[in-house]
């Protein structure tokens, strides 16, 4: 099975092989470049598209690994990234692969360097809201973040450049990544799916970089990313910088 998606100027071909070489897989193999040519083509394409060197395939490999899959091949042919994955089919998020390495500019960076951290709709804004309850109790009526929902496994992007301040289990937040942007500002990304954290504490990330995959860990009512903004330790409305 082969799926082609376009993201801005990038076309991503995601080929899933299930132990059998599919028509798409054969096409990929036929276009496979030598290792040295791969590296040169990647560097040229990255440079032309404004990516850090090697980022599209690095991100695709991280996404595959987070889903228990192995990236069999990843080549960049001018502006086409060809990804082939072994071992899994349903678990590999095609949308995430399509966005692997998408330049931050395509996500609508504002003048201060902030981008939307998710392609999803805002399902719950910051502020007072009606209580959300289930059998185990109710969530607070004060919603100290903004919820975006793009679907389970969807990519989550760094809202601005910075350094990963924490990455791991955070109680009711589930799996969470926090980025220190300097100037007393820290963003948080909660409810990340298990094995969906794609960065480590101390990593330096750029605005729009893929950092995690959406999930519903911790206290969550369905898959979404709960985005927080700390200003000198106090939670404020993230849309004050993202809007
Ligand atoms: Zn929330």
Token pair in block for residue 152: 């389970």
Interatomic CA distance for residues 205 and 211, integer angstroms: 8
- Does residue 20 belong to any structural domain of this protein? yes
Report how far ligand 1's centroid is from the alpha carbon of 140 (Å).
10
- The CA R_g of the chain, rounded to the nearest whole Å, is 19
pTM summary value: 0.65
pLDDT tens, per residue, the chain with 243 residues: 333 333 332 333 333 322 222 222 222 222 233 344 555 555 565 555 555 555 667 766 776 676 666 777 777 655 555 666 665 444 444 444 444 444 444 456 787 889 889 888 899 999 987 777 777 777 667 899 999 998 888 889 899 999 999 999 999 999 999 999 999 999 999 999 998 998 899 999 888 888 898 999 999 889 999 999 999 999 999 999 997
Q: Which has the closest alpha carbon to 226: 146, 150, 155?
A: 146
Give residues whose Cβ lies within 5 Å of ion ligand 1: 145, 147, 226
Range of the domain at 52: 2-102
Interatomic CA distance for residues 152 and 232, integer angstroms: 31
Report how far ligand 1's centroid is from the alpha carbon of 161 (Å).
22
For the chain, how many helices (H) and strands (E)? Answer: 5, 18
CB 107 within 8 A of CB 157: yes
Please count the structural domains in the chain: 2
User: What CATH number does residue 232 fall under?
Assistant: 2.70.70.10
- Does residue 111 belong to any structural domain of this protein? no
């Amino acid at each position: 099975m082969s799926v082609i998606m376009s993201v801005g100027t990038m076309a991503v071909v995601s080929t899933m092989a299930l132990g059998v070489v599919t028509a798409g897989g054969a096409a990929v193999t036929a276009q496979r470049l030598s290792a040295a040519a791969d590296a040169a083509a990647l560097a040229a394409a990255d440079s032309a598209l404004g990516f850090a060197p090697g980022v599209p395939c690095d991100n695709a490999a991280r996404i595959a690994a987070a889903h228990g899959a192995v990236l069999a091949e990843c080549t960049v042919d001018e502006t086409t990234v060809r990804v082939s994955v072994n071992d899994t089919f349903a678990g590999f998020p095609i949308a995430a692969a399509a966005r692997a390495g998408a330049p931050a500019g395509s996500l609508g960076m504002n003048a201060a360097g902030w981008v939307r951290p998710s392609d999803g709709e805002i399902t719950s804004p910051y502020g007072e809201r009606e209580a959300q309850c289930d059998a185990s109790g109710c969530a607070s009526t004060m919603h100290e973040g903004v919820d975006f929902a793009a679907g389970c496994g969807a990519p989550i992007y760094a809202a601005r450049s910075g350094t990963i301040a924490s990455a791991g289990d955070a109680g009711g937040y589930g799996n969470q990544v926090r980025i220190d942007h300097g100037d007393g500002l820290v963003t948080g990304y909660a409810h990340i799916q298990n094995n969906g954290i794609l960065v480590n504490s101390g990593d330096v990330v750029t605005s729009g970089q893929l950092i995690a995959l959406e999930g519903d860990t911790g206290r969550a009512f369905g898959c979404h990313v709960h985005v927080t903004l700390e200003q000198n330790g106090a939670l404020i409305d993230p849309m004050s910088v993202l809007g």
